[in-house]
Amino acid sequence: MATEFIDRVTVHLAAGDGGNGCSSIRREKFKPLGGPDGANGGRGGDITFVVDPQTTTLLPLHHRPHLKADGGGIGKGDLRHGADGKDLIVPVPDGTVVKSPSGEILADLVGPGTEFVAAAGGRGGLGNAALASTKRKAPGFALLGEPGEEATLVLELKTIADVALVGYPSAGKSSLIAALSAAKPKIADYPFTTLVPNLGVVEAGDVRYTIADVPGLIPGASEGKGLGLEFLRHVERCAALVHVIDMATWEPGRDPVSDLEVIEAELAAYSVDLGEGANDVPLSQRPKLVALNKVDIPDGRELADIVRPDLEAAGYQVFEISAVSHAGLRELSFAMAGLVAAERERRAEREAVPQRVVIRPKAVDDKGFTIRAEHDAEGPVFRVLGDKPERWVRQTDFANGEAVGYLADRLERLGVEEALFKTGAKPGDTVVIGEGDGVVFDWDPTSVGGAELLGSRGTDLRLEEEARASRKERKAAYHERQDAKAATRAEFEKERLAERAARERAGAQPTGAESADVESADEQ
């Protein structure tokens, strides 16, 4: 029989890639080189799980396990930044636990609105306008966008309930939850009628709490037999357990005491893996009540009178009930309310105690990368590992020589070259950035890392060189004209002085203007 209740799925996530930055130069009339105006790329979209009260099952993710967020837009000229990718919001039920494929708990989503970023989108690449500096006024390159995170995660739903009803199949758990609350679970006279956990809300005095009807357990449930292993996780969050024992079973080899011992053994064998902040007490140590069900049947009443002293001697609080006649249900509901109230007080006291926040600042000598020396068939290999170097490599367009030079500048400022020397690297050795194949290059520490000296900026650089040459030519022509004017003026003065000297030799008296010219020549 198919069911629409899914409480465990494996999902494959791919966050959005960041958009590439743009390399562009502003061109206007009378301004052939107006400066860089390439904009940044947009951020890739995140994939976020958010607790939605209206979602009760992981069925949508079961049908659609592959999720991908939108990528960021590319940057454009005229400082037009790329649009950010739209985040993918995935609604999940309250009580969803996010795990890695190895079983590590990454998040425990409890409470409406609680969210967890399961895969972060990639950063957008910077455009050449953002990369411009006093030394690099017109970069001819831009950074590439980072790829978004990819992950495979396991989602498990663990029911949020205060009390869990456990017991053998057909013990009357569904009938009991229907009698105590307004829930309408399926009820029939054959085993494993309940295929999904049922929740009901109960009010006892001023205490309001929820109870969960867990599918029947059998011997070996903690090892995967029957439906027990699939649904034992739904009792992990419960404050108390109620053993529902069938007083009218006709199966040979079964009796109430042995049924209780079997269920207790399965609960003890199941390990609770919730982290800090949840009810991480083992199931075998949770507060428990015993409900001897179906005492409305004569044989059931007689059997209950026989086994009750033994169970009370073992330390259990026992209630004789009937889900059909509602006998003993009031006492049972108030007893469950007492356990729930005590657990809530304990949690309130624990939350009232201020939690110590541990701050672990980054070490002073932490450079953000490490170098690991390795050896292969071709000789020594030096592997550079770190968030910054690996991210910078992903952002570099290796088809652009200037971009490669910019990467070299960044690595040198980070101290990678100095660290390689200290590790024992020599010119010509193989250096790998990142795990696996990574980015491999032959290290040459004597080469200049300046991006201006490595590669050309193409058409933009040629236009700039032509403009610079034109300015030099105009300046040289201006100085030539000034020199020619000065030479002409000097020749005119020379001729006038020669005429005056000739008149003096002839005995002529100089005029007032000529006398002033003589005095000026003497002063020079």
Q: Would you say 36 and 48 are in contact if contact means Cβ atoms under 8 Å apart? A: no
Length of the chain, please? Answer: 524
Nearest alpha-carbon partner for 147 in 41, 18, 14: 18
Find out whether 194 is annotated in a ligand binding site.
Answer: yes
Three-class SS string for 282-335?
CHHHCCEEEEEECCCCHHHHHHHHHHHHHHHHCCCEEEECCCCCCCCHHHHHHH
Q: Where are the beta strands (DSSP E) in 15-65?
A: 47-51
215 marked ligand binding residue = yes
- Which residue's structure tokens are 């009390």? 163
400 is in an annotated binding site: no
Tell me: is residue 323 an annotated ligand-binding position. Answer: yes
171 annotated among ligand-binding-site residues: yes
Q: How far is it, in rounded angstroms, from Cα 137 to Cα 81?
A: 20
End-to-end CA distance of the chain: 119
Q: Is 322 annotated as a binding residue?
A: yes
- Do the annotations mark residue 32 as ligand-binding? no
**CA atoms of 421 and 427, how far apart (whole Å):** 10
Does 196 show up as a binding residue in the annotation? Answer: yes
Tokens of 139: 């970069």
Phi, psi of 145 (to 5 degrees): -75, 150
| Whether 272 contacts 236, CB under 8 Å | yes
Residue 416 marked in a binding site:
no
Can you read off the two tokens belonging to residue 291? 């409900």
173 is in an annotated binding site: yes
Task: For tokens 């209630």, name the residue.
Answer: 319
The answer to whether 192 is annotated as binding is yes
Task: Please give the single-letter amino acid code of residue 415.
Answer: G
Q: Is 193 labeled as ligand-binding?
A: yes
User: For residues 437 and 381, what is the distance between their CA atoms, to the nearest angstrom?
Assistant: 11
By CB atoms closer than 10 A (0-12, 13-18, 19+), residue 450 is: middle
- Residue 172 assigned ligand-binding role: yes
Radius of gyration of the chain (CA): 42
DSSP state of 186: -
Reference 98, options 115, 82, 111; nearest CA is 115
Token match 């088809």: residue?
A: 399
Task: Report whether 98 contacts 45 (CB < 8 A).
Answer: no
Q: Is 294 annotated to bind ligand?
A: yes
Q: Does 174 belong to an annotated binding site?
A: yes
Please indicate if the annotation marks 324 as binding a ligand: yes
- 134 is an annotated ligand-binding site residue: no
Check whether 427 is labelled as a binding-site residue: no
Six token digits for residue 158: 């663990």
Binding residues, by number, are: 167-174, 192-196, 213-216, 293-296, 322-324
Binding-site members for GTP are 167-174, 192-196, 213-216, 293-296, 322-324
Q: Which residues are annotated as a binding site for Mg(2+)?
A: 174, 194
